[in-house]
Amino acid sequence: FYRVMSHEKCVAELSFEAESPLAPPTELLERLPSYNWLLQGDSQQIFFQPLEAPARPQEQRLWSSFLEHSRIPVVTEEVAREALLSFVSSKCCYGSAVASGLVIRELRQQTLCRYRLETFSESRITEWTFQPFTNHSVDGPQRGAFPSLWDIKVQVPPMFQEDTRKFQVPHSSLVKECHKCHGRGRYKCSGCHGAGMARCPSCSGAKRKAKQSRRCQLCSGSGRRRCNTCSGRGNKTCATCKGEKKLLHFIQLVIAWKNSLFEFVSEHQLSCPRELLAKARGENLFKDENLMVYPIVDFPLRDISLASQRGIAEHSAALATHARVLQQRQTIELIPLTEVHYWYQGKTYVYYIYGTDHQVHAVDYPERYCCGCTII
């Protein structure tokens, strides 16, 4: 009897709390030791200023020598037919009779230039976070001064491969009472209001089912059943502190490595979709990789030079205030494009061959069956 009364008294003292872990209130964070040099503004996160990149002299490039050594084979009628046959065989709803019997009337060929700029950068933000405190050692301010966030050494992933990692800032930890359960480790069950028993779902507490004289078999006529939410205990373990009653607060460093991409394909007079040319495989004409690359200013196609200047300026403006550039890479590739005009059963059709691997884009292939395939 004494144990039952004690249990009911303890449950009565508990308050109802949300079951999902929530962030501590702002006023609690304000009472924590000040880390003004780490956190500013709303005391939750801040982007850190990037380091200045060292300058390097611009190199003179002889584009004529690049172009002379980069020659893409001309697409012949035989190559054009083989490319279409390969494309048709990969499509379940395309017949091969057209590809075998068509008559090629004209091949219009053009070589395009694709410029790409990749900027691999690192950004660091900080935020308050917490976890249940399990009486382990605390790496707090008493163990030393906080390191500058850009001085925290981490393993950088391979260049141009995106990743996100989280780290605990050294000497930033402290222990506080759980703000959700107020240090009790549990809270009242909302399903039974702390009673441990809930209304019978079968008879809705009436002890008998509607229009039946005999008592409800599920609750044996009591009208109540043990609460399924708390298994009859009347309370649940605090989901925020996992019943530990205390939380370890610390500053978490979130590092994001991002690869920003700028892409431009030179103008052309053919009607192949530009998004296909952006993905096409090309022949590498030029590659420049360094901590910071310089804009291309003297390329024979002025559009490529302008694209290089625009891409570098855009990346610089976008990353200047919140990230540090680790590496940049710019490339120029030659993309072959052929427009094939062919005749079949009295009508003229067109398809395109693009890339060094001879991918095909068929505009209106005449022997096609309706089975849900998408033309690419």
Q: Which of 376 and 77 is assigned the larger pLDDT?
A: 77
pLDDT tens digit string along 11-24? 455 565 544 445 66
Given a contact cutoff of 8 angstroms between Cβ atoms, the answer to whether 285 and 115 are in contact is no
| Side chain identity at residue 174, one-letter code | L
Q: What is the mean pLDDT of residues 194-206?
A: 78
Instruction: State whether residue 103 is helix, strand or coil.
Output: strand
Q: What is the mean pLDDT of residues 255-266?
A: 95
Q: What is the mean pLDDT of residues 305-329?
A: 93
Instruction: State whether residue 362 is helix, strand or coil.
Output: strand
Give me the pLDDT at residue 115, please.
96
For 353, the token pair is 């061959």
Given a contact cutoff of 8 angstroms between Cβ atoms, the answer to whether 50 and 319 are in contact is yes
What is the full DSSP assignment across 272-284?
Answer: --HHHHHHS--EE
Which 8-state DSSP code applies to residue 155? P
pLDDT tens digit string along 105-152? 999 998 899 999 999 999 988 888 999 999 889 998 889 887 888 888
pLDDT tens digit string along 273-305? 888 888 899 999 899 999 999 999 888 889 999
Taken as a whole, the chain contains a residue count of 376
Give me the pLDDT at residue 95, please.
75
Give me the pLDDT at residue 148, please.
80
Exposed (0-12), middle (13-18) or buried (19+): which is 151, by Cβ within 10 Å? exposed
Give me the pLDDT at residue 215, please.
80
Other C-beta atoms lying within 10 Å of the C-beta of residue 345: 10
In the chain, domain spans: 72-118+258-362
pLDDT tens digit string along 48-95? 444 444 445 555 566 666 666 567 788 999 999 999 989 888 877 777
Give me the pLDDT at residue 232, please.
81
Q: What is the mean pLDDT of residues 167-187?
A: 90
Give me the pLDDT at residue 2, please.
32
Where residue 96 falls among pLDDT bands split at 50, 70, 90? confident
Give me the pLDDT at residue 219, please.
80
CA dist 366 and 376 (Å) reads 15
Q: What is the mean pLDDT of residues 238-256?
A: 92
For 275, the token pair is 């998004």
Q: Is the dihedral of CA 316, 322, 326, 331 positive or negative?
A: negative
Where residue 6 falls among pLDDT bands split at 50, 70, 90? very low
Give me the pLDDT at residue 345, please.
87
Give me the pLDDT at residue 376, please.
44
Distance, first Cα to last Cα, the chain = 77
Lowest mean pLDDT among 45-54, 73-82, 262-271, 317-326: 45-54
What is the full DSSP assignment across 183-248?
Answer: TSSEEE-TTTTTSSEEE-TTTTTSSB-TT--SBPTTTTTSSEEE-TTTTTSSEEE-TTTTT-SEEE
pLDDT tens digit string along 325-337? 999 999 999 999 9
Residue 197 pLDDT more than 90? no
Which 8-state DSSP code applies to residue 139? -
Backbone phi, psi, residue 278, to 5°: -65, -30
Give me the pLDDT at residue 134, please.
92
Greatest CA separation found in the chain?
A: 101
Give percent of the chain with pLDDT exceeding 70. 78
Give me the pLDDT at residue 265, please.
92
| CA distance readout (Å), 276 to 120, 152, 352 | 25, 43, 11
Give me the pLDDT at residue 201, please.
76
Q: What is the mean pLDDT of residues 20-37?
A: 56
CA dist 219 and 224 (Å) reads 6
Where residue 338 falls among pLDDT bands split at 50, 70, 90? very high
Exposed (0-12), middle (13-18) or buried (19+): which is 230, by Cβ within 10 Å? buried
